[in-house]
Amino acid sequence: MDKRIVRRVIPAADGLMNGLRPVLQRIYLARGVRSYEELDYSLTRLLPYRELGGMTQAVEVLAGALEHAERIVVVGDFDADGATGCALAVRGLRALGAADVHYVVPNRFEHGYGLTPEIVAITLPCRPRVLVTVDNGISSIDGVSAARRAGVRVVITDHHLPGSALPEADAIVNPNRPGDLFPSKVLCGVGVMFYVLTALRAHLRASNWFAGKGIPEPNLASFLDLVALGTVADVVPLDHNNRILVAQGLARIRAGRCVPGIRALVSVAGRDLGRLSARDLGFAVAPRLNAAGRLADMSLGIECLLAEDERTAKELGARLDGLNRERRDIEAKMHEEAIGSLASLGSLEINETAYGVCLFHEDWHQGVVGIVAGRIRERINRPVIAFALASGDEIKGSARSIAGVHVRDALDAVAAAHPGLISKFGGHAMAAGMVLRRADLAAFARAFDVEVEGRMSPETLRDVVYTDGELGASDLGLEMAEALQQAGPWGQGFPEPLFDGEFDLQAPRVVSDRHLKFVLRPDQSTHSVAGIAFNALEAGWSLEARRVRLVYRLAINEYQGSRSPQLIVEHLVPSS
């Protein structure tokens, strides 16, 4: 699909950002930054835990469990946010003096999502006194009831949007709970758990717990490596609060002060620990951690993050890397089949009558449908749901949406208009999951398409690429590339800078059978710079034109100990 390239609007600054490089100033202004305070990523700038609702009750339950040496079982989730949150909860509670902490994580293929009655039953033989959910639980009405009937207290820590009813837990900490006054609604699961541990430590400090037990008071900031990884992996918007968490975690990782499991995952991903970026976390580290939950059991990923020695972490990291390679092979086959399905639907080149797209194949893998939905979404600029067989007559779908269409709300509207059509669902604005009967897929697809159409505006339908304008030839160097890298963390809601401009394209060549490398010369300049377009052949790019308009990122290419600037080309349009 053709892209429309639009330069971001740069509002007037009234001198508030003076002193910055002009390029950085316009980048920050275009992202809503108005003062240097919004670029202060020190921990003192974090929003206070006291503003997060339900904290008093959660601390009361957890402090009581610590004081009476009661068994605590953490219930995690099978994605990277849930895995990092589970590892943080276990490590953090133990550091605070909890004598008996265990965890359980649902298997995607056997148990489904969240604190279900089946998961509660699995925990009961080890006689827990408290269950703590991480990155799940806000919709676990039946599971919480089952735990309470068994005499087990439940603390829910979650960030997902709640339904019309809340579970009757002993405590619920969720910034998206109705009426919650916490200013940031975009904390992810591991972020919520970090806040709970912070509040619990303050309570224990005030009650003289650490001195009385003769244990050191832990520095919870040492766990921010896990928080940074989970926050980036969950693709939550990087508002100022989340940028603090990510920036602080990245600083610790780069300094080598991270858990052995993260160090192992960075190593198998072929990244430099000392120069790690948020992009590396999202595109290199997180997929390897997520591979465990997608293809096997996320316990493998959690054990990697809990490993205390380098040898164990490396062994587990290697296994996760192997699963990720297997995941890529499965994904490639499914993506090819999805393209074929689009063609058979007449939607390969999407038209004005197709809005929400549903795809299903009997052989598709449950753990990979979300990735395929995301790739097709990028291709056609429409909300996409990819379905796979679950069990019996049920199918599971994973949705990926576009800006302007809140997919979880769209599913809620479909469920309200067609009672019983969706068995269960949940999620966010940009991603969601659901279960329905296979026989109802056609009816659901029609209802989803109609609902999405009603939520789309002409502006939503335009496939727009926003850029930060043009870089002069003198800025296409290593110094500016390093400045841009250090100016992050970049991510969802605070996008990495993209630039556009016209270039002469020279010496194109294919590498690794699907990528294109070339030499680029800016307009009216003798200066040249290397460029690469990943997966360009798969996208059907033509290089017949030698004068092109590019949308690109300015990055650093590191090869055999040398570093040089390189343009990572995202889009290419022949110049007229």
35 band by pLDDT with thresholds 50, 70 and 90:
confident
- At residue 15, the pLDDT reads 64
Rounded Cα–Cα distance for residues 351 and 453 (Å): 12
- Write out pLDDT tens, residues 349-386: 445 457 999 999 999 999 999 999 999 998 888 999 99
CATH number belonging to domain 44-320: 3.90.1640.30
Could you tell me which residues come within 8 angstroms of residue 274 by beta carbon, excluding any fewer than 6 positions away? 254, 256
- Write out pLDDT tens, residues 504-554: 988 888 888 888 999 999 877 778 999 999 887 766 676 666 888 999 999
Q: How many CA atoms lie within 13 A of 81 on its CB side?
A: 22
Structure tokens at 121: 């039953």
Rounded Cα–Cα distance for residues 180 and 186 (Å): 13
Q: 4-8+465-574 sits in which CATH class?
A: mainly beta
Give start-end residues of each CATH 3.10.310.30 domain in the chain.
346-461
Give start-end residues of each CATH 2.40.50.460 domain in the chain.
4-8+465-574
**DSSP character string of 410-428:** HHHHHHHHSTTS-SEEEE-
With the C-alpha atoms ordered 194, 140, 425, 458, is the resulting torsion angle positive or negative?
A: negative
427 band by pLDDT with thresholds 50, 70 and 90:
confident
Residue 494, CA distances (Å) to 35, 285, 323, 487 in order: 15, 20, 31, 11
- Write out pLDDT tens, residues 41-58: 999 999 999 999 999 999
- Write out pLDDT tens, residues 243-292: 999 999 999 999 999 999 999 999 999 999 999 999 999 999 999 999 99
- At residue 525, the pLDDT reads 74
Q: What would the mean pLDDT of 94-117 be, rounded to a whole number?
A: 91
> Is CATH 3.10.310.30 correct for 346-461?
yes
Where in 314-383 does DSSP place strands (E)?
357-360
**More reliable by pLDDT, 380 or 148:** 148
